[in-house]
């Protein structure tokens, strides 16, 4: 799944926008926090994806702060 995040955020035709929100005002980062649970495996996965999105966003949009 990290490959898919990278692909979507770096797509040359239309990049995924991490600041977009759903109908309830949640960004993809909010959604990751919502699906997190107390299992070690899930927490590590969510943390890795969260960090990957922040890093990709920082490279693509250095002036935009998501946190």
Across the chain, which has 67 residues, the per-10-residue mean pLDDT values are 89 91 94 89 92 90 80
Distance from C-alpha of 11 to C-alpha of 3, rounded to nearest angstrom: 12
Residue 64 confidence (pLDDT): 82
- Confidence at residue 35, expressed as pLDDT on a 0 to 100 scale: 87
The two three-digit tokens of residue 25, written as one number: 């005002």
Instruction: Tell me the pTM.
Output: 0.82
């Amino acid at each position: 799944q990290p490959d898919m995040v990278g692909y979507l955020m770096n797509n040359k035709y239309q990049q995924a926008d991490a600041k977009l929100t759903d109908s309830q005002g949640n960004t993809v980062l909010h959604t990751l926090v919502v699906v997190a649970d107390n299992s070690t495996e899930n927490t590590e996965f969510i943390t890795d994806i969260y960090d990957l999105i922040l890093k990709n966003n920082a490279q693509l949009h250095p002036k935009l702060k998501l946190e």
